[in-house]
A and B are shown apart, each in its own frame.
Chain A
Amino acid sequence: MKAIIHYFKTIFAALKTLVKGMAITGHYFIHPKEIITQQYPENRDTLKMFERFRGEVVLLHNENNEHRCTGCSACEIACPNGTIEIITKRVETPEGRKVKQIDRFVYHLSMCTMCNLCILACPTDAIVMSNDFEHAVFDRSQLTKILNKPGSKLMEGVRH
């Protein structure tokens, strides 16, 4: 008797779970608005990437063409692929003190795996991941980028 009750119980439990699954897919079927897929080239103008998407490393500049990079090379050390090269120079300040500044922040996009370690390593939050993902170029030399803009300098008060 117990076995028979168990037998029918399993049948009803199975039907219940099947109906539950069908309710979920049925909901998706009658709500085509919930479709996640985007029609990419068509919606290029309105495309909005997610905040967490890692497109490429950029060095932030403010409106006065100032960045927050002190040239400490923490990102260079953190990078597992040797994607980042920090080339520094010695600059004399008006007070006559010699300080280290970045000359070129070289970023090899072709080697980057978007692992985010450089951003985590940066003590001054100078670099971030941008959402831009259209990196296709006709020559791979174009993938080696210099991130600091020409004539830019360190922001006042940022120190390592």
Chain B
Amino acid sequence: MVFNIYDFTGLTEWIHEGLSRSLSPGLTLVVEWALIGAGLLTLVALLGLVLIYLERKVSAVIQQRMGPMRVGPWGMTQTVADVLKLLLKEPLMTRNADKFLFNLAPFIVMTASFLALGALPFALGLHIMDLNIGILYITAITSLGVIGILLGGWASNNKFSLIGAIRSGAQIISYELSVSLAILSIVVLTGSLQISEIINTQQNGWWLFKGHIPALIAFVIFLIAGIAELNRGPFDLPEAESELTAGFHTEYSGFKFAFFFLAEFINMFILAGVGAILFLGGWLPLHFGIDNSFNHVMDFIPPIFWFFGKIFALILLMMWFKWTFPRLRIDQLLKLEWKYLLPLNLLNILLMAFIAMQGWYF
């Protein structure tokens, strides 16, 4: 049996061998890239549909509304209708907009999201590229998206767009620090930046539980700073619909707007994925102790479900944040980062280094 839901290594090898038998090595690589690209596109399209529907429903229930109910049963096909509408819309542009940059910006944002998706391990053997600096690569690539946002805001020739873009820049520069330091405090424990290695170190328990209080603090800081980096939740100043109409994507319409919108949700998925890898053991099942019946029951659930389950749990948490907390002012935002998160994070990483040095983690 080639297809095994617990281990995708066999499947990928089977595809590789099958292709190599009839094609030259170079052509095999091209076909494999095409397959991976198609797979990622499908994943992104499905995620977009599911996450947007989920967001609307979650926000509705939290605000005691019902959300979309008319299109399909329980409004399930509402997102499909929205996508069709966006596809049919006219791509407008402001008169003195920088045409090239204006059109380039959404693609930069989208490309950054896609590049980061490549480094996520979806299950055992279902990992597009296992770089030896995987986690560093993800942090580097995800911060590329802000260039697209800055360009879009600048090229739109609109004051709201520009203010939104500048805010986004300030926000990313500030919060990137906290995210990186929170990631670093787990890397202190794992001793490796390779994602498969990070997951392997959690075979006997997730870092969130094994790393004691510093890991918990790092997790909270990672979530807060990560959400800020996504320009979402209580930190959605770059969009701030009540003050900047729509911030950096005010002038975008049609599918270019959809790109920005989709990229936001994909970035949310990536952040939840990184959080799951670092703190919740990636695709590993939940284990307590060694070799008991509870562990065997948990092992029965395939890793891909574990990974997506953890991601969706984190995404739900992020939605919960977004629809509970009011938006911060820009000075509050910077104060939170520079006066609270960063010093706490530095202290935390010292504590974590001490724990790792003494070997106090399990």
Contacts and interface: CB of A to CB of B under 8 A. Distances in A.
| A-B complex is real | yes
Interface of A: 11, 18, 21-22, 24-26, 28-29, 32, 34-37, 39
Contact of A22 (B64, B65, B66, B324): B324
Given A21-B324, A37-B66, A28 B340 contact: no
Nearest to B67: A37
Given A29-B62, A32-B61, A34-B64, A11 B340 contact: yes
Contacts of A28: 61-64
Given A25-B320, A35-B61, 6 more contacts: A11-B344, A18-B325, A22-B321, A25-B62, A29-B58, A34-B64
A39 B344 CA distance: 49
Interface string B153-174: 0000000000000000000000
B64 A26 contact: no
Given A35-B66, A37-B66, A39-B69, A29 B61 contact: yes
B235 to A, nearest CB: 14
Contacts of B62: 25, 28-29
Nearest to B319: A29
Given A21-B325, A29-B58, A35 B320 contact: no
Interface string B56-80: 0010011111100100000000000
A47 B340 CA distance: 51
Contacts of A34: 64
Given A21-B324, A25-B323, A35 B65 contact: yes
Given A21-B325, A34-B64, A29 B69 contact: no
A73 B325 CA distance: 53
Contact of B320 (A22, A36, A37, A39): A22
B64 A35 contact: yes
A21 B323 CA distance: 10
Contacts of A25: 62, 320, 323-324
Interface string B39-66: 0000000000000000000100111111
The 9 closest A-B pairs by CB, nearest first: A25-B324, A37-B66, A25-B62, A36-B64, A21-B324, A37-B65, A22-B324, A35-B64, A29-B62
Contacts of B344: 11
Nearest to B326: A21
SS class of chain A's interface: helix, strand, loop or mixed? Answer: helix
Contacts of B321: 22
6 contacts: A18-B324, A21-B324, A22-B320, A25-B320, A35-B61, A35-B66
Nearest to A26: B320
Nearest to B316: A29
Interface string B296-340: 000000000000000000000000110111000000000000001
A19 to B, nearest CB: 10
Contacts of A24: 324
A25 B340 CA distance: 26
B68 to A, nearest CB: 12
Contacts of B323: 25
A37 B62 CA distance: 12
A28 B69 CA distance: 18
A37 B321 CA distance: 23
Given A28-B61, A29-B61, A39 B325 contact: no
Most buried by A among B62, B323, B324: B324
B325 A37 contact: no
A39 B75 CA distance: 13
Contacts of B65: 35-37
A29 B69 CA distance: 17
Contacts of B64: 28, 34-37
Name the residue among A25, A26, A28, A32 with the largest chain B CB count within 10 angstroms.
A25
A157 B259 CA distance: 74
Nearest to A8: B344
A101 B323 CA distance: 60
Interface string B175-216: 000000000000000000000000000000000000000000
Contacts of A32: 61
Contacts of A21: 324-325
A32 B69 CA distance: 14
> Chain B CB within 10 Å — which of A18, A21, A29, A35 has the most?
A29
A35 B69 CA distance: 13
A36 B67 CA distance: 12
Contacts of A29: 58, 61-62, 320
A71 to B, nearest CB: 47
B277 to A, nearest CB: 25
Contacts of B63: 28
